[in-house]
Amino acid sequence: MSTYRQPGTVLTDHVFSVPLDHGAPDGERIELYAREVVAAERAEDDLPWLLYFQGGPGIGSPRPIGRQDWLDRALRDYRVLLLDQRGTGRSTPANRATLARFADPRDQAAYLAHFRADSIVLDAELIRRELIGDAPWSVLGQSFGGFCAVTYLSFAPEGLREVFITGGLPGLSATPDDVYRATYRRVEEKNDAHYRRYPHDVERVRELAAHLRDHDVRLPNGARFTVEALQALGRMLGSGSGSHALHYLIEDASADGTSRPSDGFLAQAEAHLSFAATPLYALLHEPCYAQGHGATAWSAQRIRAEFPRFDADTALAQGEPVLFTGEMIYPWMFEADPVLRPLREAAELIAARETWPRLYDPARLRANEVPVAAAVYHDDMYVDRDLSLETARTVNGLRAWVTNEYEHDGLRVSGGAVLDRLMAMVHGRV
């Protein structure tokens, strides 16, 4: 365990050993990394702990530099633990290199089944008891981290002092199909808003899509840049500045005035499309919604057919705008992306898996006694507000703040305002 300093903070590294399968505690073990952050002036104080669950799935916790973003607000009152959830960051990794030890894709898929919110919550409970014993701690969950927080409330509320959720109230009984039917509608709305804001992008995107349809264009990593890949850049539209960033990306797509994409544009597109840093995001995105019986069966791909405006060929033929998609994961990604290609058979097996453990307990949530406050972003493209509000009505005592002041990234970009509001709600100041 090492301790070091940054401007205004003291940071300490922690490593924990946990079972891969909490149902078999004597079996294989993995390591979890977590970074403790405390305000320098309060380093010796007996502060309550705040565990941060990062969004994802499959994304490591933030790497702070001083007291930036929401962390500054949190450090006034808490000692913060930034957990690299299993498989991410400095925790035991799960990627094409480490999973290559399994010769059979079935073994890869079975291993990956232990990387959902239910396992993450049991990890957190082991860490809590090792760090602070029987005392409960506070939890802040962003996006998928909020899903983890609701799982925590369902199965281990005794470990929780209070919970703050930002853009992460899941549908308690929603299937992946339900989720994608809702989010495709939101993505359509984001596309329409983007093209109203930047009407010249309509023709630029159409020209680019037509070129990609008719030519073999490659990203720097060798992956083919297809029309579907172009549409997948729409995951940018879910952040507060995403429409503007997407516009500038499209604006600079060609350096010579033709429809041929420039090297600079392709490099930027690759950065947005590659799963090199987040393979678990692609592998477990649909399973993070799966409960009970029924395979996910590439839900986003199937449900997309119910929304014909996303058919680029039809749009090009009829002179309509080519719509971008959202954060959906599609089978073609496991063939196109070099870092996912070795895992495509495991991905198919995961998509075909018929039974997944429950992630939420509605009966226990209706009897909840843990103080909870949640920010529900009215225009959220990633987590449907209607599903979130239904859950808010189910969780006893949960206070919801519905706002269109921020998008899904409100926690990060609000300068601490979102967290401050939720803390005030939980502590009875508003």
Catalytic residue list contains 408:
yes
| Burial environment of residue 133 by CB neighbours within 10 A (0 to 12, 13 to 18, 19 or more) | exposed
Contact 300, 327 (CB under 8 A): no
**Which residues contact residue 409 at a Cβ distance below 8 angstroms, ignoring those fewer than 6 apart?**
238, 239, 240
Q: What 3-state class would DSSP assign to 268?
A: helix
| Burial environment of residue 101 by CB neighbours within 10 A (0 to 12, 13 to 18, 19 or more) | exposed
Contact 122, 22 (CB under 8 A): yes
Catalytic residue list contains 194:
no
Catalytic residue list contains 380:
yes
* Cα 52 from Cα 61, distance rounded (Å): 8
**Which residues contact residue 401 at a Cβ distance below 8 angstroms, ignoring those fewer than 6 apart?**
373, 374, 375, 376, 421, 422, 425
Farthest-apart Cα atoms in the chain, separation: 67
Peptide bond into 62 cis (omega under 30): no
Contact 213, 313 (CB under 8 A): yes
Closest CA to 245 of 289, 197, 212, 286: 197
Residue of 254, 408, 409, 414 with catalytic role: 408
Residue of 138, 143, 243, 299 with catalytic role: 143
Residue of 21, 84, 123, 380 with catalytic role: 380
Side by side, the strands of the sheet bearing 49-53 are 3-6, 9-19, 29-39, 79-84, 49-53, 137-142, 160-166, 372-377, 398-403
Could you report how far apart the first and last alpha carbons of the chain are, in Å?
40
- Parallel/antiparallel/unpaired status of strands 372-377 and 398-403: parallel
The residues annotated with a catalytic role in the active site are: 143, 380, 408
